[in-house]
Amino acid sequence: MNSVTVRVPAKVNLQLAVGPLRDDGYHDLVNVFHAVSIFDEVTATAETGMSVRVEGESADQVPEDDDNLAIQAALALARHAGRSYGVNLVIRKAIPVAGGMAGGSADAAAALVACNELWGLGLPIEDLLEIAADLGSDVPFALLGGTAVGTGRGERLTPLEVGGTFHWVFALADGGLSTARVYAECDRLREATGEKVAWPQAADPLLAALRRGDAKALGAELANDLQPAAVMLRRSLARTLEAGREHGALGDLVSGSGPTCAFLADSEAHAEQLALSLRAAGVARDVITAYGPVPGPTVV
């Protein structure tokens, strides 16, 4: 086998609860991850060295060297296997770059799956998840897909039962937001306001809404502790979120560290109508629809 292509989805955080700042500089998190039908594709082709090329949406904003998380994933997999391997990775982007939808993590997960197949390693998902956890907090879920609760830094995952399909509208912003900067702003705001930060927990009403497939109930429970920080750093997001509510979204939130805004609709038709309304309102660079949950990386 000389080439393997893997398709991998974006994610939206239905709940992102951020605990107090730890001594190691991280936060304990509770993440309710949900994979949605916006996909990158990663093609791995055998070669002597390690290289990466990026095509598609905002490709010029993605590094094509060892700073690329997909290359780091391939290197980590080779180290785990105890062999010297080479690969050329071609990443075709559709997931927003630095948009809070884990595009870089998705590409890393796809690289793990593609290289595992290309190199004939046959490693089980448990081994890949262990490697993924060392690459970044969102990479394990990108490898798993579906819907799951993540704890710790987000890397300890428990799959969730979901009773149906949910329809989404995503408003994309110009430019990205640095995840590290958003977390730092979250800490700054909490210190400035004297907020007492509770230990993060998954919200039972949200989990129940997922089990029932109840979009209206889920919309009322969407929550993101990073949202005030993201809005503070990108004030235009407040107007985007307000526009979604004005045009009938069941729920709205900033996805992850932003700046992508996510809106829940009650049907595919409602999602299409909401997308048209948001485009007409001029509150986003682009507006796209998607559904979830969807599976994780798939060889195509």
Position 23 confidence tier, pLDDT thresholds 50, 70, 90: confident
SS3 category, 243: helix
- The pLDDT value recorded for residue 1 is 74
Mark the binding-site residues, compressed into ranges.
96-106
| Residue of 40, 107, 138, 225 marked active site | 138
Q: What is the mean pLDDT of the chain?
A: 95
| Residue of 11, 40, 107, 252 marked active site | 11
Average of pLDDT values for 278-289?
96
Average of pLDDT values for 32-59?
95
- The pLDDT value recorded for residue 279 is 97
Name the strand (E) or helix (H) holding 144.
helix 139-144
- The pLDDT value recorded for residue 134 is 94
Contact 42, 114 (CB under 8 A): yes
Q: What is the pTM of this model?
A: 0.94
SS3 category, 152: coil
Closest to 86 measured CA to CA, from 109, 41, 131, 52: 52
11 is catalytic: yes
How far apart are alpha carbons 49 and 256 in whole angstroms?
34
CA dihedral sign, ordered 166, 171, 176, 182: negative
The better pLDDT of the pair 57, 173 is held by: 173
Average of pLDDT values for 95-119?
95
Which tokens is 109 given? 């997960």
CA dihedral sign, ordered 253, 194, 138, 201: negative
Mark the binding-site residues for ATP, compressed into ranges.
96-106
Is the peptide bond prior to 293 cis by the omega test (within 30 degrees of 0)?
A: yes
93 is catalytic: no
| pLDDT of 272 higher than 80 | yes
